[in-house]
Amino acid sequence: MARFEHFGPNPDGRDYAVGDIHGHFTRLEATLDRARFDPARDRLFSVGDLVDRGPESPRALEWLEQPWFHAVQGNHEVLTRQYVDGDPQLDPHDYRSSGGTWFMESSPAEQMLYADRFSQLPIALEIETAQGLVGLVHAHCPFSSWTTLREYLTGALPYAIELEEAFQWSRARLKQRDESEVRDVRAVVVGHTPLRRPRRLGNVWHIDTAGWSEGYFSLLELGQLKVVPA
């Protein structure tokens, strides 16, 4: 399975990114309708965390079958794998309190299906736009250059265990208010940390505005880097 995915440009439609969904596909559909999202021409890229917390986690599989929907792997997708594998690092109480009850109560066959599908999701992806390359990763780009991230995830650099958690768990940029640019990429889009409104630090866009909770779903249009709704 590829840990990195590349998408060519979409000359006929628009490309959007959306933050963490966490089992709220009906709410997301309403946001897409308001934005006049056209599945025949437009594409939607998710920063991951499709499941847990909301009532519609099982729908993640049906969304991943849509040709216009693409996602990277969030830490909640990793939790399904850890649970199925009986990973001692995963505390079942923690998993339950972070929304994993629906998964723990699914049949073993269903659990396998979800974990296998989510394991196929890339850690990061990139999209060509007319204005330049845009990258997506769930939480954090642990490199100062997107080229280095691509090289790492395609196996051109040695595996480093400490980097693996950073992609899906790190909040370092927000905590340090780090405004540095990630080189070789126009913008990097991440989720993982719920915010009241989208926040750009350097060229990194944090777009989880908690549509799965008390907030709303922000769509970032990747050509103009404009947020919908503004």
Q: How far apart are CA 169 and CA 74, in angstroms?
A: 8
The site that binds Mn ion (CB under 5 A) totals a number of residues, namely 4
DSSP-derived pairing of the beta strands 15-18 and 4-7: unpaired
Residue placing its CB nearer to Mn ion in the complex, 10 or 218 = 218
Count Cα neighbours of 8 within 13 Å in the Cβ-side half-sphere: 2
How many residues in total does the chain contain?
230
**Smallest distance, Mn ion to C-beta of residue 208, A:** 8
Residue placing its CB nearer to Mn ion in the complex, 139 or 185 = 139
Judged by CB under 5 A, which stretch of 6-14, 84-92, 102-110, 184-192 contacts Mn ion? 184-192
**Smallest distance, Mn ion to C-beta of residue 168, A:** 7
CB neighbour burial string for 28-53, b if at least 16 within 10 angstroms, e if fewer: beebbeebebeeeebbbbbbbbbbbb
Q: Do the beta carbons of residue 122 and residue 5 sit within 8 Å? A: yes
**Smallest distance, Mn ion to C-beta of residue 36, A:** 28
Instruction: Name the residue with the smallest CB distance to Mn ion.
Output: 192
CB neighbour burial string for 178-216, b if at least 16 within 10 angstroms, e if fewer: eeeebebbbbbbbbbbbbeebbebebbbbbbbbbbeeee
Applying the rule CB under 5 A, the residues between 186 and 215 that interact with Mn ion are 192
**Smallest distance, Mn ion to C-beta of residue 63, A:** 17
**Smallest distance, Mn ion to C-beta of residue 166, A:** 12
Residue placing its CB nearer to Mn ion in the complex, 54 or 74 = 74
Binding track over 133-172 against Mn ion, x by CB under 5 A: ----------------------------------------
Residue placing its CB nearer to Mn ion in the complex, 51 or 153 = 51
Q: At 112, list the tokens.
A: 């396998």
Applying the rule CB under 5 A, the residues between 38 and 97 that interact with Mn ion are 49, 74-75
The DSSP secondary-structure symbol of 181 reads P
**Smallest distance, Mn ion to C-beta of residue 183, A:** 25
* Chain contacts with Mn ion (rule: CB under 5 A): 49, 74-75, 192
